[in-house]
Structure 1
Amino acid sequence: MADVFLSYAREDQPDAERLAGAIEVSGRTVWWDRHIVGGSEFSSEIENQLKAARKIIVLWSAHSVRSRWVRDEASVAADSGRLVSVSLDGTPPPLGFRQFHYIDLASRPIGEGGLPPEVAAALGVVSAAPQDADPSLPRGRKGLPLLLLAMISLLLVAGTLSLWRSDGLRGFFEGPAEQKATLAILPFSVGGDDELAHLGKGLAIALSNGLSVLHGLTLISTTSTQAVVDRELPTNEIGDALGATHFVEGDIRIDGERVNATLRLIDARTERQLWSEAFAGERGNLPDLERRIGNQLAAAVKARLGLSGGDFRGHENIDPRAYDAYLRGMEHLSVRFDREKRAESLRQFRIAADIEPEFAAAHAGIAYVLSLSTSYHFPLSLDTIMAQQKAANDRALELDPDNVMAILARANAAHNYHGDIDASFKFTRRALELDPNSGLAHYSMGSSLLMAGRPQEALLHYDRAIAADPFNLVQKIFRILAYHELQDYQAIKAEASQCVRPCPGAAWEWFDALAGYGTPFDLKQDLDTIITLGGDEFDDKIRSEMRTVARYFVLGEKGHISGDDGSGRGFPYAILLAHFGHIDDAFKVIDRSIDDMQADEILLLTRPGRLVFPEHVRSDPRYHAIFEVPRFKAVIEYRRKAGITNGLPIHPVQAAR
């Protein structure tokens, strides 16, 4: 057990990490949720560490004073006489903790100059800053480096080029990362327009900054890279000069309003091209082009350089064509939010399996994609998708019983097709035993915990999954769903605000939070911003009805929205229709959608807050029938046993009351 327990809000994770490093430099061990062992029960481990720690440091800030978890941990510390209060931004501790002295670090950046003297004194540290310690690279007691999570910063090049964002990356890792690859991104050549010559260097800088969040990757600084490029070395000497194992090169061509870019990933030692992709965009929307390049390059680097822990490693006898198809499937997997990318991922995995029928990882890829898909994604019945998924899953596990992706596909199938939460936990825990750092496994565990009604624990796993795969939009959406369960409006606002416009998906999630549990102040402050975030996807009619809906839920004002036009889908839309009197239309929407829904979508009917069906509708037999669908019923029965009953059907007598 550690000497010091560190309590903080997720938004303050960078400061927490720097302080943890400074504490370990001083000779004290420190525990924070980055050290949670994969597959363990979070609440029990946190409780054990709280009990064992000699001191409990609570980092107060504008974020943490609103955190129930931080307050609970501070109460334990205060009651046991082990509390060390620290203010990161000058925010005083909340009521109940102000009788204790607190250390104000608002004017002193943490990590510069070692451990702050007041903190050192509170911990009983004699020397807080050893002479040989580099505070910018904190080290533990055995000299092992702590991994610092590099956050993407906003980059503007000549006022036109801005860095794509990673949607509020926050994460924690179990320990020091083994650096698996060193990458240099060379400035791109630019042709067709001298006025945009700066794009070559600017895009390289932006991509380098963006990829810095990938776990296990070392990036050569753009200053060093430019210096080597200026020497005009031949290709085979660039890697040696930079100390890089791989590099990215490319060219940009301007043709009027069109911008075409081609990127290539090169093995520096062999000069072999590992990956190449062409991109096209509009001169007037360079940030969108940059975002798409960044997301696809990140997926390629992860798959080609083995940063995702893929099971293809060690398959030396695999046909190169199958191996290449498998890698392409992995590249598209993390961007499966795009239905075309999802379909391409599945197609590539199938090509790999056709070429190499004994290639377990290819069958696992097929099973995994299908385990997360419905008829909405592919023109097949759900029964057909389930049958194909099971066949691929069985084959993968027959060939390799310990294939992590295949085990997770089994967990996803239990979770999504059957609502079997216990089975999902069982398979996901097995996957985490085999690979505690698997981002896919933490995503699966987060989804199971969310379905089980344990959103706070789910968030920790989603953070871990996103840290392993920072550009996976699906995982970020599920993290927002966990925030919905916690009614954490500010967290959803922060996530959505980081999305580069236009961003209709993020706008809708933020709007749901506003309607579900936002305040009149939130309505006044944020509604226009939400509507703007949706861009051109929100026409005048949608914008008008969004205002009507928001004022109805937040202020109780009556209004009118149009009924179903035959194209709407999903529970949230049906809920809105029911509130505005279109009850029959609401159930038509559900009938049209329900066969394509996975088990966890029932959670959209059981969220806390205002955005649920009205009570008189919840007594309707048609509403009761939804909860008799086997996969939904399994989820609800599990949650009911845990005492979670929000949004459930009620009997007519209850409605009359």
Structure 2
Amino acid sequence: MNRHEDEGERVPHERYVFLSYCRRDQRTAYAVIKTLEEAGFKVWWDALIPGGHRFGSSISTALEGADAVVVLWSAEAGQSDWVKDEAGYGRDHHRLVPLSIDGTEPPLGFRQIQCIDISKGRGRRGSPGMLRAIAAIAEIMGHQPEPQARKNAGSLPVSRRTALIAGSALAVAGAGFAGWRWFGASSAGANSLAVLPFENLSGDASKTYLSDGLAAELRARLSRNPLLSVVGQASSNVFRDREASSADIARKLKVANLLDGNVRMDAQQIRIAVELIDGATGFSKWTQSFDGPLTNLLALQSQVAETVSSALAAELGAKDAHAQSGDTRNISAFEAYLRGKDLFDSQRDEASDRAALAQFTEAVRLDPDYAAARAARSRALAVIANQYAETAERRLLYDEAITEAREAISGAPEYAEGYAALGYALFYGKMDVLAADAPFAKAHDYGAGSAEVLNLYALYHGRRRNFAIAGPAIERAVALDPLNPALAKTQGRIRFASGDYVGAIAAARRALELNPDLGGAHGDIANALLLSGQLDEAAAEYARERSALLKLPGEAILAIRRGNQRAASAAFDQLVRDEGDNGLYQQAQVLAQWGKVEPALDALDKAVKVQDSGLVYLLSDPFLAPLHAAPRYKALLRALHFV
């Protein structure tokens, strides 16, 4: 049996009993625990979890390692999803010892095992019911323990269930999800929430994309409520495998509340367990399980999302913000979409992006009305066109990206990601600045709580030098997803375009702290250092940059600043040779800094003809400053609708 230690919490290596009970039965639970310990059994129960630890993971570990699972059934326990979940594990693994503490029978599904009635003695030592219980436990565990002298236990620690009402007059555990209240972290807003990656308890690592996807979809739905502040996916996912307590996670993410969960599934059934955790104390506020056949996964997902979202909105005194989510009812399409998201979000390389596109294409094939899949497919097409495609393929990909985004909007007119995808494809693909304006505005209207939508919106306005809009938007995105290196990189690029080179360097270094392998960040730092006159420091950063489209033009401009014409020519020639038409915009940067105004403008004209995405920098790029007075440059700005 696989047992381990979880951040200082000792899961016993010796044989032990797991005790499951309902909060309202805590006094009887104490009596049973004392009796079992006096009889020589080691007992694990939830009060042994140190404050601030993730309950779901701790309880699952202890439950799986137990040799016997003792369940205290009562009228209240029969209504508890926690108790039924734990009892179900004991039953399925032939370790269950059911005890009735008030004479009621266990709920349906648990009556095939004889339940021992201990209601008369209420768990006390020497009562007939407890003697039978001890014998049953010993039989399951395969040994008779040695009785121990009674210990002076002193004050029992607070359990996860008693913590629900500690310091509060709210007895919410039995009232359902709508009964809980926001309270906790002192510095975080009371409406702040992080949805942690759900644990995959299916025993099949290949199903992790599904548990991740369910958490991501729940996070996306909650972020559409403008009264909630929901941490973005990248920051939440940092804590997937980290051994950190709930209180530590909440503090690092600056939230008052955490939503945790796990997913169990087999060939036919799925159970989604969700838990709300107080970020200040780490104690559970509320838990609920949702069960159903695997074929009914989408309805189950919607039930979870709507229950959580509606309860949060009701608590904050406002209607639920029900922006359309672009959902599907086709389980196979949903699974293909989740696989695609898993690949696309990894940002590994061209192969993973093209594999993601294939999954999104499959999702759309299975459900042509699946707006979320169409929007995701549009983004994948545009990114591949932007980063990897040659001229001929690039045009076809951008055209298809625009079509897909419009299809997504047609199917879900209030779906923010559809508008963001359209704005991105029009701006980067068609270089049509004005046409992209309305979709980005709509994306912001419907998705102001999404860090990803805000990121694209901020970049667009940064390129238009609308810094009064871009600055607050990217700051909001970073606040929502503070551990996302891509957002820190965007923040740095917007600061660079505004002339804040110190701020740009700080943001890019923060991005590298979060992801030391992040592409482009060293080049961004080098560009800011170069324009600040720190040439030696800039050279060191260019040497560390892997992107040729940042490294080669940067090294050429650096050589120009140093007066080394031979080195400048060598770097420029390599840029032309290695990157070809994909580097036309970067050629213009070097030529402008060289003082070769007309050749630089010629390069920009060629870039327009091949739809070089670098042209989105045209208005905001300080390296093109030597061209600003040229009539051809001003005409180009007008032609692309920058002015």
TM-score range, shorter chain: 0.3 to 0.5
Query: Normalising to structure 1: TM-score of the pair?
Result: 0.46
Larger-Rg structure: 2
More helix by share: 2
